[in-house]
Amino acid sequence: MIIASNVSKNFGKLKALNDISVTCNRGQSISLIGPNGSGKTTFIKCILGMVVPDSGFITFNRQNIAKDWRYREQIGYMPQIGRYPDNMTVGQLFRMMKDIRKNLHNDIDEELLEAFDLNKISNKRMRTLSGGTRQKVSASLAFLFSPKVLILDEPTAGLDPVSSEILKDKIRKEKTAGKLILITSHILSDLDDIVTEVIYMQEGQLIFHKPIDLLKKETGEERLSRAIANIMTRN
């Protein structure tokens, strides 16, 4: 569904992405793992077209994303740090997003919105929200249009345990519905029963891309966090 071919991106002297080639298919649930600054977020932003690669290209359903912006109709994106217009209220933000994306054929999914009880705070301005509440807004927006692809950048960071479980349940549900899910997270225990594949990145390079079963077999570990720790120490 998403194919990246030899994608490179430099920020000045820093090589943020170095010749990344990845194939992601429908029904997969892929976790991007790597140390801070390894290029995970940059790669995600490349897929979304927010960062333009210096070389290489990315295709979405065989369409080059550089030429066609419409593919973003099928993506729900939850950013690492949700930044929204300060003066807008929560209610206005949701109304605006629906207004912008409404004429499309996907249906509205307000499950998370209700689970997080965001209707209660719909009159609050975005700037007054706490980091966790902002995360809830980001998550609800990502799932709102029942997209075929979900890109979640550190989804559970800053969420309280209850909300974190609500979100994880929702991710599991979407996964069983056959959607492509891309997650980055440092809390590996969160990913254990969600993820089917692992992409490991380091300093802008793709170290490996493997199914989780294979990874567990190779390392002889049962849990993802142990398996990754095993590999990191081996490197």
Q: Which residues bind other proteins (CB under 8 A)?
A: 11, 45, 48-52, 69-73, 75, 77, 79, 83-88, 96-97, 99-101, 104
- 185 secondary structure, DSSP code: -
Whole-number Å distance between alpha carbons of 141 and 95: 11
> In whole angstroms, how close is the CB of 178 to other proteins at the nearest point?
21
CB of 177 to other proteins, least distance (A): 21
Q: Write down the least CB distance from residue 105 to other proteins, Å.
A: 12
Nearer to other proteins, 28 or 42 (CB): 42
Which C-beta is closer to other proteins: that of 124 or that of 210? 124
Which helix (H) or strand (E) segment holds residue 110: the answer is none
Closer of 11 and 208 to other proteins (Cβ): 11
Rounded (10°) angle between helices 131-143 and 90-101: 20
Query: What backbone torsions phi and psi does residue 131 show, to the nearest 5 degrees?
Result: -55, -40
Cα–Cα–Cα angle for 13, 68, 2, nearest 5°? 70
* Min dist. Cβ of residue 18 to other proteins (A): 17
Looking at the Cβ atoms of 84 and 116, the one nearer to other proteins is: 84
Q: Which of 145/200 has CB closer to other proteins?
A: 145
Q: How far is the CB of 51 from other proteins (least distance, A)?
A: 4
Contact 33, 210 (CB under 8 A): no
Check if the beta carbon of residue 193 is closer than 8 Å to that of residue 40.
Answer: no
Interior angle at CA 186, CA 30 and CA 13, nearest 5: 90
* Smallest separation (angstroms) from other proteins to the CB of 46: 9
Q: How far is CA 117 from CA 26, 91, 112, 166, in A?
A: 31, 12, 8, 12
User: In angstroms, what is the minimal distance from the CB of 227 to other proteins?
Assistant: 32
Which CB atom, from 67 or from 234, has the smaller least distance to other proteins? 67
Nearest to 44 by CA among 67, 78, 92: 78
CA distances from 115 to 21, 54, 140 (A): 37, 41, 9
Nearer to other proteins, 84 or 143 (CB): 84
